[in-house]
Structure 1
Amino acid sequence: MAGLEQYQAKRDFRKTAEPAGKVPRHRPGEAGGIYVIQKHAATRLHYDFRLEHDGVLWSWAVTRGPSLDPHEKRLAVHVEDHPIDYASFEGTIPKGEYGGGSVIVWDDGRWIPEGDPAQGMKKGHISFELEGYKLHGRWHLVRLKPRRGEKRDNWLLIKSD
């Protein structure tokens, strides 16, 4: 599914206050934009790492949150794109709904990709700089080779030296 179809298919917007994201903001030719990290106390506590690209937020669930130690690699499971207006979402997703639990904005700011981020996404290695309240400097998202039978799209979030 392209764009926000997968995101919208997983949610009942009559029950959740999450934004439906019907109007994506397109800025063709511009790379980078906003980023946000949301602390999400769902079934398991994790941090949702989101990068604005081509009118949506590319999204990864980072199990223990980002680490400032370049030697510590954090598992980041690539999930469906989210609407841009999700970046400011805070609140409680009702129990029983997809992602049920509380969500707060943990950090936000601007991300600046090195090279073409769409090419990096295809290749499985996105290098970028973060200018946020908590996170700064150069980072990498690196796709892991899938193990046999694995359905998740696993990446690593790594802080640069």
Structure 2
Amino acid sequence: MIPKGQYSGGIVVVWDQGWYDTIAPNDARADQEKFLPEELGKGSVKIKINGRKVNGEFALVKTKGIGPNAWLLITH
């Protein structure tokens, strides 16, 4: 729970559960662990979400001009 008075304060509801995989050129786990931070640093990463409600490939893209930490999740 985020304390009241804080941005987005109040009760947090977990809407979905599952896992994600990076869509990387190499499937080796060690390579994926290096790949994700590098791609996030570049401002774009492609992932596959395997959840109970959400499934599929998505691109997580950092936006410019909206704010310092604004990201879009786009269906890939």
User: Which TM bucket (shorter chain)?
Assistant: 0.7 to 0.9
Distance 2:4 2:63 in 1: 31
Give the corresponding residue for 1:120. Answer: 39
Q: State TM-score, norm by structure 2.
A: 0.72
TM-score, length-scaled by structure 1: 0.37
Change in Cα spacing, 1:151 to 1:136, as seen in structure 2 (3 Å) is: closer
Amino acid at match of 2:14: V
Question: Partner residue of 1:144?
Answer: 63
The answer to whether 1:129 aligns with 2:48 is yes
2-structure distance, mates of 1:133, 1:109: 6
Question: Is residue 158 of structure 1 aligned with residue 74 of structure 2?
Answer: yes
Match of 2:10 in 1: 101
Provide the aligned length of Structure 1 versus Structure 2.
66
Alpha-carbon separation, structure 1, partners of 2:61 and 2:67: 17
Runs of 4+ in 1 over 3 A off after TM superposition: none
Give runs of aligned pairs for residues 1-161 of structure 1, distance below 5 A: 92-115=1-24, 116-145=35-64, 147=65, 151-160=67-76
Q: Give the direction of change, closer, same or farther, for the CA distance of 1:97–1:159 in structure 2 (3 Å limit).
A: same
CA offsets 1:112-145 (integer angstroms, 9 cap, x no match): 0022111110111110101100000100101122
Root-mean-square deviation (CA, aligned residues, Å) is 1.8
Structure 1 segments unaligned to the other structure (5+ residues): 1-91
Q: Which stretches in structure 2 are left out of the alignment for 5+ residues?
A: 25-34
Higher helix proportion: 2
Q: Which has the higher strand share?
A: 1
Deviation for aligned residue 1:93: 3.3
Could you tell me how far 1:151 is from its partner in structure 2? Answer: 4.6
What CA deviation, in whole Å up to 9, does each residue of 1:61-115 have, x standing for no partner? Answer: xxxxxxxxxxxxxxxxxxxxxxxxxxxxxxx434224531111100120100022
